[in-house]
Amino acid sequence: TGLVTLDSGFTNTASCTSSVTYIDGDQGILRYRGYPIEQLAEKSTFIEVAYLLIYGELPTATQLEAFSGRIQRHTLLHEDLKRFFDGFPRDAHPMPVLSSAVSALSTFYQDSLNPFDDEQVELSTFRLLAKLPTIAAYAHRKSLGQPLLYPDNRLGLVENFLRMSFGNPAEDYEVDPATAKALDLLFILHADHEQNCSTSTVRLVGSGQANLFASVSAGIHALSGPLHGGANSAVLDMLEGIRTSDDDVDTFMTKVKNKEKGVRLMGFGHRVYKNYDPRAALVKKTADQILEKLGKRDEMLDIAMRLEEIALNDDYFIERKLYPNVDFYTGIIYKAMGFPTKMFTVLFALGRLPGWIAQWREMIADPATKIGRPRQVYVGSPERDYLALDQR
């Protein structure tokens, strides 16, 4: 009881202290554990960034080898869990399949559910990091009616995922190094973003001392919405809509500015960034390079660039400080790699996983953590007496 402050959407309320990720939204700065995202994008790898986020320091060569090796040992899914995929309708969206399968992990690994046992937390960390790519690839293959491939543990995490996504059990699959490198980079850029909607969800669920699998499964659901991770597929739907409609780009932008039927420029705007999202700048550069390399110059990229150009010079967007966010250009790259639109947010989830794990572990280890329990401002009826059915 007492006075509570209403902060709808938590625009001004910190829910925790954290030493994982730093963002300065006005200047467009993003750092993981102090390291600028630009340096990590250029020099690091996703697996190294995962280690950095979870343990707080860059690994030595020995630590990195042990870390990768341990992940590789857990990539297989239990055969019973594999059968799980048959229960979903053929055209099931891969996001709910992903979160359901992650949720199911807590039924298969009952030996690693105690949030206060460090060894168990470590084990569930490795299980999640190793199995999410396998689950994601299976969700993808299942939606196409294609066979599921076992992981090939001679390959690294990203290469393995690409092979399971696009390979054929009867043939060798050559992973294209440019594609693997681009996907690795995109995973780095998605790996953490402090207290966003899905990460806050992971922490909130975990604050009730639910296990890591349950917390991450909830985070995947939170990520799926179009205002959050779902924006990456919404962007492609938007671009496709513009390409196939009679409207030109300017007409579409007029609709956005008039807020016609709630139309938004998807992939634009951010709660924290009031400047160019530093991830979007890196993604845009990659889009140019990878499309060139794959020989897949895309009409969608031209439409996207035209939209950006209009927006950056238009008062509506300037006044509201709306810039492209990470989701604006990623879909075009995923599409060029051969992923269907439905898979885009799943790819976001694969990238975000180390961040969710790091934040959950930070929360569990922090003695100041209390159960997340927001207050409310009640605006309902004052006290009144119950009326019998025949008196209503």
Q: Which residues pair with 275 in a beta bridge?
A: none
Residue nearest to ligand CMC (CB): 269
Q: Where are the alpha helices (DSSP H) in the chain?
A: 37-43, 46-55, 61-72, 79-84, 94-108, 118-144, 157-166, 177-190, 197-207, 212-223, 231-244, 249-257, 278-293, 299-312, 315-319, 327-337, 344-365
Name the residue nearer to ligand CMC (CB basis): 285 or 320.
Answer: 320
Q: Which sign does the torsion angle of CA 54, 56, 60, 62 carry?
A: negative
DSSP string, 269-321: --SS-SS--HHHHHHHHHHHHHHHHTT---HHHHHHHHHHHHHHT-HHHHHTT
Cα separation of 173 and 309, whole Å? Answer: 40
Q: Out of 327, 366, 385, 390, pick the active-site residue.
A: 327
Question: Does the annotation count 74 as an active-site position?
Answer: no
Name the residue nearer to ligand CMC (CB basis): 243 or 320.
Answer: 320
Cα separation of 284 and 267, whole Å? Answer: 12
The answer to whether 214 and 205 are in contact (CB under 8 A) is yes
Classified as helix, coil or strand, 44 is: coil
Cα 343 from chain centroid (whole Å): 11
Q: How many CA atoms lie within 13 A of 241 on its CB side?
A: 12
Q: Out of 74, 192, 270, 277, pick the active-site residue.
A: 270
Residue 389 has a CB neighbour count (10 Å cut-off) of 5
CB of 333 to ligand CMC, least distance (A): 15
- The residues that touch ligand CMC, with contacts defined as CB under 6 A, are 9, 196, 227-229, 231, 256, 264-271, 320, 322, 325-327
Name the residue nearer to ligand CMC (CB basis): 88 or 316.
Answer: 316
CB of 109 to ligand CMC, least distance (A): 29
CB of 107 to ligand CMC, least distance (A): 29
CB of 155 to ligand CMC, least distance (A): 28
Question: Does the annotation count 93 as an active-site position?
Answer: no
The answer to whether 45 and 59 are in contact (CB under 8 A) is no
Q: Phi and psi dihedrals of 324, rounded to 5?
A: -60, 140
Measuring CA to CA, which residue among 143, 339, 136, 346 is closest to residue 230?
346
CB of 110 to ligand CMC, least distance (A): 32
Name the residue nearer to ligand CMC (CB basis): 218 or 265.
Answer: 265
| Start-to-end C-alpha separation, the chain | 33
CB of 210 to ligand CMC, least distance (A): 23
Cα separation of 41 and 283, whole Å? Answer: 10
Name the residue nearer to ligand CMC (CB basis): 266 or 291.
Answer: 266
Name the residue nearer to ligand CMC (CB basis): 49 or 155.
Answer: 49
Residue with tokens 């055209």: 91
Name the residue nearer to ligand CMC (CB basis): 53 or 266.
Answer: 266
CB of 267 to ligand CMC, least distance (A): 5
Active site residues: 270, 327
